[in-house]
């Protein structure tokens, strides 16, 4: 479990102390460094609000994409490969790349799950929309992974009203990302602003799913959402 910054502790003091603890726990130096910087950044981010917090969320998502910041000793998320290290605030951290990023010119299509096989996609409306406690999805046909997640959540027993509300909100967040992706595919292009918007939504979605997981006592793999960001990014200046 990562340690937390102490009151009055500088960044350098915390990072040095934290790295020592993480390395002693079995982490490699570069992964320990990434974990400690992420804890420091999250602590500072928690004190922000409004546009400043959104900007920091975007920077965080960019800097730590693909890096495993949990208890697992693997340096990268499942589906990502460490190709070396990169410099973050003057120190080396893992450089994790997904399969799409490793292969030039290979773009995922909208009807594939992430990570997973890529098949020929279509922007035509397909079966797969579901009712999630009163919210009717609109773009879920894009992502079988999301359909599986929410169908399973709907099947959980003893859900209270607060948890049901969180599940419904998470579905709306996911739908918003899929709408940005669908628009990009249909028009053949998108903007950095739209990618930034989708990145913030995905971060909020994954935070909310984390809260839901605690309530239902079950973990869900939502890494497919990162694949949708890759698709959106591929249409910038397309």
Mean pLDDT per 10-residue segment, the chain (238 residues): 86 95 92 94 86 70 84 81 90 82 42 32 51 92 88 92 92 94 87 93 93 93 92 83
CA distance 82 to 85: 8
Strand (E) or helix (H) holding 208: helix 192-216
Task: Copy the structure tokens of residue 226.
Answer: 């990162």
Q: Which pLDDT score, from 0 to 100, does residue 168 have? A: 93
Nearest to 209, CA basis, from 236, 177, 181 = 177
Residue linked to tokens 């790349």: 97
Q: Which pLDDT score, from 0 to 100, does residue 13 have? A: 95
Q: Which pLDDT score, from 0 to 100, does residue 179 have? A: 92
Helix axes 224-234, 161-187, angle to 10 degrees: 30
Q: Report the relative pairing of strands 91-97 and 131-132 from DSSP bridges.
A: unpaired
Q: Which pLDDT score, from 0 to 100, does residue 110 have? A: 32
> Where are the domains positioned within the chain?
11-97, 101-234
CA distance 97 to 79: 9
CA distance 3 to 6: 9
CA distance 226 to 196: 13
Q: Which pLDDT score, from 0 to 100, does residue 50 have? A: 66
Q: Which residues contact 166 (CB under 8 A, 6 or more apart)?
A: 208, 211, 212, 215
Q: Which pLDDT score, from 0 to 100, does residue 112 have? A: 33
Peptide bond before residue 115 is cis, with ω within 30 degrees of 0:
yes
CA 168 to chain centroid: 18
pTM of the model: 0.52
């Amino acid at each position: 479990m990562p340690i937390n910054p102490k009151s009055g502790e500088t960044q350098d003091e915390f990072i040095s102390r934290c790295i020592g603890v993480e390395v002693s726990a079995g982490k490699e130096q570069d992964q320990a460094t990434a974990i400690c910087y992420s804890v420091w950044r999250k602590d500072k981010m928690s004190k922000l609000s409004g546009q400043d917090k959104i900007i920091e969320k975007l920077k965080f998502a960019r800097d730590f994409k693909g890096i495993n910041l949990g208890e697992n000793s693997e340096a990268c998320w499942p589906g990502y490969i460490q190709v070396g290290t990169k410099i973050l605030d003057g120190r080396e951290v893992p450089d994790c790349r997904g399969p799409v990023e490793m292969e030039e010119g290979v773009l995922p299509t909208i009807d594939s799950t992430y990570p997973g096989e890529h098949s020929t996609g279509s922007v035509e409306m397909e079966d797969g929309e579901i009712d999630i406690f009163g919210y009717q999805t609109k773009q879920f046909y894009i992502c079988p992974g999301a359909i599986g997640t929410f169908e399973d959540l709907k099947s959980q027993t003893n859900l209270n009203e607060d948890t049901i509300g969180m599940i419904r909100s998470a579905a709306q967040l996911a739908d918003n990302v899929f709408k940005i992706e669908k628009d990009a595919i249909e028009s053949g292009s998108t903007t950095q602003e739209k990618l930034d918007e989708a990145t913030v939504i995905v971060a909020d979605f994954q935070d909310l799913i984390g809260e839901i997981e605690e309530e239902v006592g079950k973990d869900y793999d939502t890494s497919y959402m990162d694949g949708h960001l890759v698709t959106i990014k591929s249409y910038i200046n397309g």
